[in-house]
């Protein structure tokens, strides 16, 4: 049985699909993280985002992170979903779903997955402001 | 050598894909030097290189048939 689902799409991400994937009869804990687009950054109005992905490598890095979560924290199933293309306010940009026997390892794995994703998955966010656009860099 | 550019690297080079005349096999650190000679802003930015969809170390060798990509600081999530 597959315990990992990684997915990149230019269409709306489904929380139900991510949750249904990780649900498992042996698990009592399920942790979901959802990252959404917000309307401001550093005091400036953001109208929308646009995500560019190096899709093949991004999927392989996402799978590596999910495997790391299972090995390191002993969680059962992991789903990592990310958007590409244009993302408007309140739309989901990323979903991490984790199931495990107990809650503690689920919280830890979920946190680890989003932190690692932000560090190493080749996806780039372009922010559109009222007066222009720019690539967002974690290391400006 | 074909080199894919993403995010801000695409703006700096002006191309989605570079086709550079470089001698192969070439070490990754030498490729960085060759890129710096052509695109000064790349080094200022700081970036990683990926070879065949994996982050590459400086002492790795790049062959002509490899898929190489410039990975500027990522900002997913």
- How many alpha carbons fall within 13 Å on the CB side of residue A96? 25
Interface predicted TM-score (ipTM) of this complex, two decimals: 0.95
| pLDDT category of residue A140 using cuts at 50, 70 and 90 | very low
A139: pLDDT strictly greater than 50: no
- The secondary structure of residue B37, as a DSSP letter, is H
Does the beta-carbon distance from B50 to A136 stay under 8 Å?
no
Residue in B closest to A59 by C-alpha: B53
**pLDDT attached to residue B41:** 93
| Residue A33 token pair | 């993280």
pTM of the model: 0.96
Consecutive 10-residue runs of chain B (77 residues): their mean pLDDT? 96 96 96 96 94 98 97 96
Q: Contacts of residue A49 in chain B, CB cutoff 8 Å?
A: none
For residue A38, the SS3 value is coil
A105 pLDDT higher than 80: yes
What count of other Cβ atoms lies within 10 Å of the Cβ of residue A118?
Answer: 16
Chain A CA closest to residue B54: A57
pLDDT tens profile A2-14:
999 999 999 999 9
User: Which of B46, B71, B73, B76 is the best residue to mutate to test the A interface, defined by the most A CB atoms within 10 Å of its own CB?
Assistant: B76
Q: Do A57 and B72 touch (CB under 8 A)?
A: no
Q: Give the Cα separation of A128 and A59 in Å (integer).
A: 25
State the pLDDT at residue A138: 53
Contact B7 A124 (CB under 8 A): yes
Which run of H or of E encompasses A110?
A: helix A103-120
Strands (E), A4-122: 4-9, 29-36, 40-41, 44-53, 77-83, 85-88, 92-100
For residues A80 and A8, is the Cβ–Cβ distance under 8 A?
Answer: no
Q: Does B76 touch chain A (CB under 8 A)?
A: yes
């Amino acid at each position: 049985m597959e315990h990992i689902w990684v997915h990149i799409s230019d269409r709306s991400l489904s929380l139900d699909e991510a949750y249904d994937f990780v649900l498992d009869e042996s698990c009592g804990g399920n942790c979901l993280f959802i990252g959404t687009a917000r309307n401001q950054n550093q005091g400036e109005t953001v109208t929308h985002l646009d995500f560019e992905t190096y899709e093949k490598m991004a999927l392989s890095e996402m799978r590596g992170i999910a495997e790391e979560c299972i090995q390191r924290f002993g969680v059962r199933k992991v789903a990592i979903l990310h958007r590409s293309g244009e993302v408007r306010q309140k739309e989901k940009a990323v979903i991490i779903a984790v199931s495990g026997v107990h809650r503690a390892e689920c919280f830890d794995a979920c946190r680890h997955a989003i932190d690692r994703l932000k560090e190493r998955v080749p996806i780039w966010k372009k922010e559109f402001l009222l007066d222009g656009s720019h690539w967002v860099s974690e290391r400006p | 050598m074909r080199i894919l550019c993403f995010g801000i690297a695409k703006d700096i080079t002006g191309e989605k894909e570079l086709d550079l005349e470089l001698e192969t096999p070439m070490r990754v650190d030498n490729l960085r030097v060759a890129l710096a000679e052509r695109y000064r802003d790349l080094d200022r930015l700081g970036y990683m290189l990926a070879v065949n969809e994996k982050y590459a170390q400086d002492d790795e060798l790049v062959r002509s048939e490899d898929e190489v990509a410039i990975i500027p600081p990522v900002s997913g999530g």
